[in-house]
Structure 1
Amino acid sequence: MTIRQTIQKKLKAYEVNAIQTLKENNSSLYSIEYKLDLSFFKFQNNKINHLLYWDKDELVGYAAMSNFDPEALEVTLIVRPDQKILNEMNKTIRTFSQQEKINKILLITDRKDTFFRSYMEGVNQYKYVFSEYSMILVINQFEPKSTNVSLEPAKKEEAGMIASLEENQLANETMPLDPEDLEKTLVLRKNEQVIASIRVENEGNSSGLYGFVVRSEFRNQGIGRKVISQTIQELLEKQAKNIYLEVESTNETALHLYRSIGFKEQTLFDYYIYEITD
């Protein structure tokens, strides 16, 4: 076996093709999915890195590594079921995190990925922390209705406040929303104050809904349903074919809301944490 590893911020066309081939082969053979945003492949971003693991000219391992949270590295691994490959990539990811002064590594895997789960349990380095559902809208089950809400683009001066809503913390305890995320964020205002926000990530005909939150004193008034429904209606008017979101598996209130709107659970992703100590 002739091994070559690289960490890079930009992918070439043949590398993207190799990743997609590995992903499709694993998905087909083992009936699993990966938490992997397609925009990872198309845009260079200082917060995204790619680890590629080659055996001669064959890609046998890939890790999508993102640290939108400066203290945590989120990692999705696509690996040929070989413990030696996973061990080597795991070492590389930990070394990279230490060099970048990142405190935590979050590995994300499909609950159905028995190889990865057994590896996590066997190495005894990562601890399970939580799970989230990836949900997709069944479009013919969505019923457009008049919401009487007007969603508007977020303003620069609202970046800190929106981030505090998302993190459920005081504004002075939270990093302001990233400018790139702020550009994709829509808000609902009342008396010139933001009472709800939602971020829309578009990739071709697919749209992901993230960062959805309603200010605590305005919850249980139907505002969340109106914001989600209005966002969906606007996306469908723009010919969106695939609308998805993610929600923690224990958040029964949100799950009930999304199901009633027309979303269906697609994949259950487990999160495992590794804390880096000096």
Structure 2
Amino acid sequence: MINLSAGLSPAALSAIGDLERRVVAADGGRLKLEWNALRHRSGQDVEDVLWWDGERLLGFLGIYAHSAPTIELAGMVDPAARRRGIGAALLDAGLRLCQQREHASVLLVVPRKSVSGRTLAQRRDGSLDHSEHALQLLGDPVEVPADPRVTVRTASPVDQPAVRELLRLGFGGEPPEAAGRDPNTLVVERGGQLIGTARLIREGDRAGVYGFVIHPDHQGRGIGRDVLHRMCRTALAGGATAVDLEVATDNDRALNLYTSLGFRQVITEDYYALPVR
């Protein structure tokens, strides 16, 4: 049966982790579950949809407001419980929640290898919006020379306008209101000038790099490679055994940068825009 959850208990998080392991063991790749977000749900709004069979979790759908008003939905169904309508029921429940909150744009994240996920998106009149490669670094990054003029530090409140402008340049559109206030936000300076930003989030033995931007005027000088190398070193020194990041499939420049450091493609994910009726 479906359960709408505002906040996840330790028992629910453990069940989601167990379900994730079963799905990945069967399908390979990875799932975009955003564990940092799951562990820090506000508890004020329903942000997760779970399908329980007694005490066993058979399906899960997470709702992620990374860059409002665009909402991302990502989920999974136990391999032994597929073709029972669980995925469709989870998605419909998630879409109803989005409709109630008047979200205008909803993206469903579908692993490219998932025929059932693609079919479900298309049956909900979804259209392909964009695609991303999920990359992962296991072990030390390839060594690169460090530029002594480049520094990386934690962002301060006075950096927020510059961080927001960098995100506009790097990704287009208006960044979320909270952009730049996340305590995991880093800024890159060269010769005292703020020229880049990223978020480095560590969760247990995993780390993720998000929102990585170097100002266009400073690209092509090896700064991005130098900074990413430093972030990977920091994550590994902090206990991470893997570093994850994502890159648009049409961004060959960034993809080449990441793979030159030792990142390898884990999976390709398609983002389907779904109508909210």
TM-score by length of 2: 0.87
Distance in 2 (CA, whole Å) between partners of 1:163 and 1:240 is 28
Q: Look up the match of 1:77.
A: 75
Distance in 2 (CA, whole Å) between partners of 1:81 and 1:171 is 38
Q: Look up the match of 1:238.
A: 238
Amino acid corresponding to residue 32 of structure 2 in structure 1: K
Distance in 2 (CA, whole Å) between partners of 1:67 and 1:133 is 20
SS of the residue 1:151 aligns to: strand
Amino acid corresponding to residue 95 of structure 1 in structure 2: R
Question: In angstroms, what is the RMSD of aligned CA positions?
Answer: 2.6
Q: Look up the match of 2:139.
A: 139
Q: 1:160 to 1:169 in 2, by over 3 A?
A: farther
Which has the higher mean CA deviation after the structures are superposed, 265-274 or 76-85? 76-85
- How far 1:76 sits from its partner (Å)? 0.8
- How far 1:155 sits from its partner (Å)? 1.8
- How far 1:24 sits from its partner (Å)? 2.1
Q: 1:243 to 1:42 in 2, by over 3 A?
A: same
- How far 1:102 sits from its partner (Å)? 0.9
State yes or no: 1:93 paired with 2:94: yes
1:174-225 CA distance string (max 9 Å, x none):
55443652x2111122464311111101112321111111111111122111
State yes or no: 1:262 paired with 2:262: yes
- How far 1:68 sits from its partner (Å)? 2.5
SS of the residue 1:142 aligns to: coil
Q: Look up the match of 1:58.
A: 56
- How far 1:247 sits from its partner (Å)? 0.6
Distance in 2 (CA, whole Å) between partners of 1:228 and 1:169 is 16
Distance in 2 (CA, whole Å) between partners of 1:146 and 1:49 is 42
State yes or no: 1:219 paired with 2:219: yes
Q: Look up the match of 1:129.
A: 129
SS of the residue 1:262 aligns to: coil
Of 29, 34, 39, which aligns to 2:31?
34
SS of the residue 1:115 aligns to: helix
Of 3, 12, 16, which aligns to 2:13?
16
* Unaligned ranges ≥5, structure 1: none
Contact 1:27–1:33 under 8 Å retained in 2: yes
TM-score by length of 1: 0.87
- How far 1:119 sits from its partner (Å)? 2.5
- How far 1:103 sits from its partner (Å)? 0.9
- How far 1:104 sits from its partner (Å)? 1.4
Distance in 1 (CA, whole Å) between partners of 2:171 and 2:15 is 44
Contact 2:151–2:190 under 8 Å retained in 1: no
Distance in 1 (CA, whole Å) between partners of 2:32 and 2:173 is 31
Distance in 2 (CA, whole Å) between partners of 1:254 and 1:48 is 35
Distance in 1 (CA, whole Å) between partners of 2:258 and 2:171 is 27
Which has the higher mean CA deviation after the structures are superposed, 100-109 or 191-200? 191-200
Contact 2:61–2:91 under 8 Å retained in 1: no
Distance in 2 (CA, whole Å) between partners of 1:198 and 1:240 is 17
Which has the higher mean CA deviation after the structures are superposed, 231-240 or 86-95? 231-240
Which has the higher mean CA deviation after the structures are superposed, 216-225 or 31-40? 31-40
Amino acid corresponding to residue 159 of structure 2 in structure 1: E
- How far 1:32 sits from its partner (Å)? 4.7
Q: 1:250 to 1:152 in 2, by over 3 A?
A: same
Q: Look up the match of 2:66.
A: 68
Contact 2:133–2:248 under 8 Å retained in 1: yes
Distance in 2 (CA, whole Å) between partners of 1:172 and 1:24 is 35
Q: Look up the match of 2:184.
A: 184
